[in-house]
Amino acid sequence: MNLETPLIIPVFIPHRGCPHQCIFCNQISITGMGAEVTGPEKINQQVKNFLGYKRKNRKNVQIAFYGGNFLGLSESTIGSLLDEAAGFVKRGAVNSIRFSTRPDTIDKARLDLITDFPVSTIELGVQSMNDRVLVDSNRGHSARDTEKAVRCLKERGYDIGLQMMVGLPGDDGSESLTTAYRIASLSPDFVRIYPTVVLAGSPLAVKYKNGDYRPLGLEKCVALVRDIYNIFKKNNIKVARMGLQDSEDLADSSVVLAGPYHPAFGHLVYSRIFFDMASAWLKEEKQAGHNVIIRVHPRNISRMRGMKNSNVRALKKAFEINRLHVLPDKNLPEDKLMIERAV
């Protein structure tokens, strides 16, 4: 497995290859694209545009088919899309191909179809490992399908990404935690965690308007995703994303009708994690009126401070700190902090 975070060249195939409509989904909103058909010409143009932005030292570049059910496309479409993408790999401009697909589209015949193409990574939309939640979300597959799919992908040596959602209908949070444990036991290479939001035009929007669905509040969702992140971290599984990809469409309240959407959702979760780490230390050392220095890796300064300094304010108040400084220390690992008293 190549551990460098790849430059992803996304090619969206919204809703294509989907056998039905999942309750929460409206890919047209998520991808900001109409239901236009993505063909070889479009891929060509998209890849060339992205390669123009490529940093010279970036080694790993992948073309990624997202937003639909890749292995649910017709054989000829799968072949023509992969052919076009593979051309870039052959010419050395791109390293490999990845796509996302449903667990129930993974079988021997479908995997045989792609075996001669340079596909390295396959992401599965797992969403939940609770069969009742999957039914309530109209997913049309079971937790066993996911387990079977992961086994098949492992046998063929693909890098595996598993996507899960929190706040689905019928999930009060405990199902999400169980899902995280069950996903962790499958040992994927990475995971993505998405909050459920109510998208206009989705079946969930109808349920929401009828009062039959209440989304998670932002605070509760951040706390839940923090707990899930900690489960994956303990199991050494990389969390590649928390929260939906920010876009102008999703910032529009006529697109996201309700739910815990935030353009920097992942940042909120990391801020919460750093807040917890600092609190745990300060709890032991509480002493009114003291001054404190917290050192973190430079990349984590804003995570430690929290949105608009919210962590700094909350820590000062909770632990009666007089002055609190957050300072960078590039020698610290990214998931650690150091706290010391200051005079």
Name which position in 18, 184, 224, 257 contacts ligand SF4 (CB under 6 A): 18
Sequence-distant (≥ 6) Cβ neighbours of residue 51 within 8 angstroms: 9, 61, 93, 94
Q: Which residue in the set 2, 5, 21, 49 belongs to the binding site for ligand SF4 (CB under 6 A)?
A: 21
Q: Is 295 in the site for ligand SF4 (CB under 6 A)?
A: no
Binding residues among 70-109 for ligand SF4 as defined by CB under 6 A:
102
- Chain position carrying tokens 């739910």: 259
- Binding of ligand SF4 at residue 260 (CB under 6 A)? no
Our CB check for ligand SF4 shows the closer of 27 and 130 to be 27
CA 268 remoteness from chain centre: 14
DSSP codes joined into one string, 70-106: GGGS-HHHHHHHHHHHHHHHHTTS--EEEEEE-GGG-
Q: Is there binding between residue 22 and ligand SF4 (CB under 6 A)? A: yes
Nearer to ligand SF4, 27 or 271 (CB): 27
Note whether 38 binds ligand SF4 by CB under 6 A.
Answer: no
Strand partners for 101:
124
Least distance (Å) from ligand SF4 to the CB of residue 40?
21
Backbone angles phi, psi at 251, to 5 degrees: -75, -10
Q: DSSP per residue over 237-272, as a string?
A: -EEEEESPPP-TTTT-TTTEEESS--TTHHHHHHHH
Burial of 172 (0-12, 13-18, 19+ CB in 10 A): exposed
The contact pattern for ligand SF4, residues 227-256, with x = CB under 6 A and - = no contact, is ------------------------------
Number of residues that bind ligand SF4 (CB under 6 A): 10
Q: Which stretch binds ligand SF4 (CB under 6 A): 21-29, 257-265, 278-286, 313-321?
A: 21-29
| 25 makes contact with ligand SF4 (CB under 6 A) | yes
Cα separation, 126 vs 128, in Å, equals 6
Near ligand SF4 by CB under 6 A, which window of 16-24, 47-55, 74-82, 266-274?
A: 16-24
CA–CA separation, 140 vs 178, rounded Å? 20
Shortest CB 309 distance to ligand SF4, Å? 37
Q: Which of 9, 27, 94, 176 binds ligand SF4 (CB under 6 A)?
A: 27
- In the complex with ligand SF4, the residue whose CB is nearer, 68 or 260, is 68
Sign of CA dihedral 318, 177, 239, 333: positive
Amino acid at 230: N
Closest CB to ligand SF4 among residues 101, 271: 101
In the complex, the smallest distance separating the C-beta of residue 243 from ligand SF4, rounded to whole angstroms, is 16
Tell me the angle at which helices 218-234 and 265-284 cross, rounded to the nearest 10 degrees.
70
**Beta carbon of residue 66, minimum distance to ligand SF4 (angstroms, whole number):** 9
Q: Any idea which residue has 């791109």 for tokens? A: 94
The single residue among 6, 11, 12, 15 that binds ligand SF4, judged by CB under 6 A, is 15
Binding site for ligand SF4 (CB under 6 A): 15, 18, 21-22, 25, 27, 68-69, 102, 125
